[in-house]
Structure 1
């Protein structure tokens, strides 16, 4: 079998084409958002919101409402509860995040276990990218487009908020509103990624691309290009590997992204562990010579 056959054979199946397109949608919007999550140090918040949306998605399913609505409601509920616990007790923010998101996630698991359904709701937890229908593809595409357009249009304000919220406030921007906007986009993006990797692995797609780009460049504008490109390439490769290895698609998407991060962590010219070592060695050799 030639390399071209390996590339084209999966495309003969409609479910593989839908899986690839859906995965790219999710990878791009998650990667763009991940840049600000990394810059703000909101990895734990991303973990909290991505897990806390589970009961909202299940309740929305029960009521026949859009998944995005339930996710956004519970995303903001999680943030509000974290703030209440942090501000009204001796518990610090990291502990408050852990308490709230694990409780809401567990509540979601209970709802999944007791909700009568003709479909397997476990796909919300573990993802079901190969089972994406044409209707699901349209819904995911619309949600991803909305989140991506908002993030691109507000990229300057969000970047200023990430680097210098005091200056942002001084020129008339509201850090509170910008933070709320990011949290809203986080909840919406979590819904987009649910179909691909499920609730458990959503946080990986929300953090790894931004962290990878952060090690490759010092400029936020370049991060917003590098992160989605790396994420999309890794995601497509993960889907292809899942086809040929007959393995979990969502898991392989995240594994490939993790491998890409590991390579950048080691070999990035300026910020990689080995890259810095080689640069320092060359400088010492040049100084001696």
Structure 2
């Protein structure tokens, strides 16, 4: 293909908006994914991403900003999960499965019960090619706030992720760190809602951290590798979707899956080489 064909997608305003929102949300999702992977909170991210649906529908019906409804529903899910896990014999992963599936089911019932102009497919899978200017502003502000908060508190969050008991003994406000991370997770899912929807948001919140974890063993390197991987995969997926006539969000997730397989094979090869050298 010639240069004009390669640059053709950049002539359209809807593609420019898609590239802009990809760059915005790639940073906070990548940074959060590092902590979610280290803490083993993959299911928590999945739970909150599904649980915001009733909040989105209710906010739409009442005429409130979707940000408020989604954030409130996400925090209710997180608090309810923590309370049930602490006050029952059921393990936390089981509680999360019950809570997020229940809230997701409630959201579907509410969507069917109330007449709305919103397309369910756009809520579930995103509508990156139909991004509005106000959605760009919302995603940009949330991304900047969440990314700045994570970078400022990264050392405290890292200690809390590896050893909560040591973090508490060191005088850190463990509860504030715990719920602060959950709040950042809920806000980030709100920022990704218009781009990749509820279903595929978990891919951005887990994939970059998992890939970086396989490639490096240093947390500082893990964070910037996750950001680079996430941004490249989002921009490349959006770009390729224009030529192969596919939805951007699933294309992005497929690229991240391919990168994860490559990282896994790379780590497996390094481990085998280390084992042979020790023999």
Q: Could you state the TM-score of these two structures normalised by the residue count of structure 1?
A: 0.92
Paired with 1:17 and 1:260, the residues of 2 have a C-alpha distance of 25
The answer as to whether partners of 1:54 and 1:71 remain within 8 angstroms in 2 is: yes
Mark the CA change 1:97 to 1:138 in structure 2 (over 3 Å): closer, same or farther: same
| Alpha-carbon shift at residue 6 of structure 1 (Å) | 4.4
Q: Deviations 1:2-29 (Å, cap 9, x if unpaired)?
A: 2x33431100000001001101211221
The CA deviation at 1:187 is: 0.3
Matched ranges for 1:40-119 at <5 A: 40-119=39-118
Q: Specify the alignment match of 2:270 in structure 1.
A: 275
Q: Tell me the CA shift for residue 279 of structure 1.
A: 4.1
How much does 1:136 deviate?
Answer: 1.4
Q: Indicate whether 1:25 and 2:15 are aligned.
A: no
Q: Which residue of 2 aligns with 1:249?
A: 248
TM-score by length of 2: 0.95
Residue 154 (structure 1) shift: 1.2
CA contact (8 A) 1:112 1:122 kept: no
| Alignment partner, residue 146 of structure 2 | 147
Aligned equivalents of 1:15 and 1:125: distance in 2?
20
Alignment check: 8 A CA contact 1:82 1:100 kept: yes
Matches within 5 A, 1:129-148: 129-148=128-147
> Separation in 2 of the partners of 1:77 and 1:6?
48
Moved over 4 A (4+): none
Distance 1:133 1:80 in 2: 32
Q: Distance in 1 between matches of 2:45 and 2:100?
A: 10
- Gap regions ≥5 residues in structure 1: none
Match of 2:185 in 1: 186
Q: Indicate the larger mover: 243-252 or 148-157.
A: 148-157
Q: Who is 1:195 aligned against?
A: 194
Could you say which residue in structure 2 is the equivalent of 1:171? 170
Q: Distance in 1 between matches of 2:163 and 2:221?
A: 19
CA distance in 2, matches of 1:105, 1:112: 11
SS at match of 1:277: helix
Separation of aligned partners in 1, 2:185 and 2:214: 22
Equivalents in 2 of 1:80, 1:134: separation in Å? 32
